[in-house]
Amino acid sequence: MEPLLRAALEGPCRVPRGARILIAASGGADSTALLIGLARLAHERALSLHVAHLHHGLRGAAADADRAEVEGLCARLGLRRTSARWDTRARMRRRGLSGQRGLRVLRREFLSTVARRVAADR
């Protein structure tokens, strides 16, 4: 996987050496693979990585397990992370949002806030 990820970083994604990257990690297979791949390439590309995980408060024990998995993986890889648990139903209700679109809006807000705080440029 690293050769494909390296090619993406050098090609279409145009991620420069030394970039500060925020990785949104859900705990699912796709974001976990991306996280591991970037961690493996971080040294050779001088990348600074920070992982963000938002627990939406919707899936009970399954979401708790996802959060624990992300936190454990970050600890094993030595990556800094920010995790939060939000009552997304209440937040969406207050703002008149709903469904997947509402969750996307909240995730973007969370990720934007974390990106500013950690000075991520990607």
8-state DSSP, 57: S
pTM of the model: 0.92
User: In the structure encoding, which two tokens stand for residue 120, read together?
Assistant: 């991520």
Nearest to 54 by CA among 32, 30, 24, 92: 24
pLDDT digits (tens, 9 = 90+) for 91-108: 999 999 999 999 999 999
* Domains: count for the chain: 1
**Residues 29-48: tens digit of each pLDDT:** 999 999 999 999 999 999 99
In whole angstroms, give the CA distance from residue 103 to residue 118: 22
CATH code where residue 53 lies: 3.40.50.620
| Domain range enclosing 24 | 2-118
